[in-house]
Structure 1
Amino acid sequence: MNQPLMILAGGTGFLGRHVAQHFRQLGYEVLMLTRHARRFGEVAWDGRTLGSWAASLEGAAVVLNLAGKSVDCRYNTVNKYAITRSRTESTRVLGEAIARCQRPPAVWLNSSTATIYQHTEGAQPANTEAAGVIGRGFSEMVAQRWEAEFWLAQVSHTRRVALRTAIVLGADGGALPVMARLARVGLCTPQGDGQQWISWLHVVDFCRAVEFLLNHPTLEGAVNLCAPQPLRNYEFNALLDQHYQPRWHLPQPRWLLELGAFLLRTETELILKSRKVMPQRLLDAGFRFNYPTCELALNDLLPQLG
Structure 2
Amino acid sequence: MKRIVITGGTGFLGISLAKFLREKGFQPILLARHKPDLDFAFVQWDGVNLGDWCQVLEGAAAIVNLAGRSVDCIKTPDHCDEILRSRVDSTKVIGEALKLAKNPPKVWVQMSTAHIYGDSVSQVCDENSSTGYGLAPFVGKAWEKTFLATLPENTRGVRLRTSFVIGRNGGALTSLKRITNLGLGGKVGNGKQGMSWIHEFDLNNLIYEAITNERYDGFFVASAPSPVSNNEFMKQLRGRMKFFIGLSLPLFMIKSWNQIHF
TM range (shorter): 0.7 to 0.9
Supply the distance in 1 between the matched residues of 2:86 and 2:111 (Cα, whole angstroms). Answer: 12
Q: Structure 2: which 5+ runs fail to align?
A: 243-253
Supply the distance in 2 between the matched residues of 1:116 and 1:135 (Cα, whole angstroms). Answer: 6
Supply the distance in 1 between the matched residues of 2:36 and 2:10 (Cα, whole angstroms). Answer: 11
Aligned pairs for 1:104-115 (under 5 A) are 104-115=104-115
In structure 1, give the amino acid aligned to 2:2.
P
Matched, 1:9 2:4: no
Measured against aligned partners, the alpha-carbon deviations of 1:181-214 in whole angstroms (never above 9, x if no partner) come to: 2222333443322211110001110101111222
Shift of 1:149: 0.4
Alignment match, 1:207: 204
Matched, 1:145 2:125: no
The structure showing larger relative contact order (alpha-carbon pairs under 8 Å, at least 6 residues apart) is 1
C-alpha contact 1:212 1:287 (8 A) present in aligned 2: no
C-alpha contact 1:35 1:46 (8 A) present in aligned 2: yes
Shift of 1:4: 0.9
TM-score normalized by structure 1?
0.76
Supply the distance in 2 between the matched residues of 1:224 and 1:287 (Cα, whole angstroms). Answer: 10
Alignment match, 1:219: 216
Shift of 1:234: 1.9
Shift of 1:244: 5.5
CA RMSD of aligned residues (A): 2.3
Alignment match, 2:27: 29
Alignment match, 1:232: 229
SS in structure 1 opposite 2:240? helix
Supply the distance in 2 between the matched residues of 1:141 and 1:159 (Cα, whole angstroms). Answer: 25
C-alpha contact 1:104 1:157 (8 A) present in aligned 2: no
Deviates more, 1:9-18 or 1:171-180: 171-180
Aligned pairs for 1:19-58 (under 5 A) are 19-37=17-35, 41-58=41-58
Shift of 1:179: 1.6
In structure 2, give the amino acid aligned to 1:30.
P
Shift of 1:84: 1.1
Supply the distance in 1 between the matched residues of 2:98 and 2:241 (Cα, whole angstroms). Answer: 48
Shift of 1:85: 1.0
Measured against aligned partners, the alpha-carbon deviations of 1:120-157 in whole angstroms (never above 9, x if no partner) come to: 113x3x1111x212113222111111100000015111
C-alpha contact 2:151 2:157 (8 A) present in aligned 1: no
Deviates more, 1:133-142 or 1:186-195: 186-195
Q: Structure 1: which 5+ runs fail to align?
A: 246-281, 289-306
Supply the distance in 2 between the matched residues of 1:284 and 1:13 (Cα, whole angstroms). Answer: 25
C-alpha contact 1:189 1:234 (8 A) present in aligned 2: yes
Deviates more, 1:184-193 or 1:98-107: 184-193
TM-score normalized by structure 2?
0.88
Which structure has the larger Rg over C-alpha atoms? 1
Alignment match, 1:64: 64
Measured against aligned partners, the alpha-carbon deviations of 1:252-298 in whole angstroms (never above 9, x if no partner) come to: xxxxxxxxxxxxxxxxxxxxxxxxxxxxxx9995458xxxxxxxxxx
**How much identity, in percent, do the aligned residues show?**
37
C-alpha contact 2:209 2:257 (8 A) present in aligned 1: no
Question: 164, 167, 191: which one pairs with 2:164?
Answer: 167
> Alignment length, in residue pairs?
249
In structure 2, give the amino acid aligned to 1:115.
H
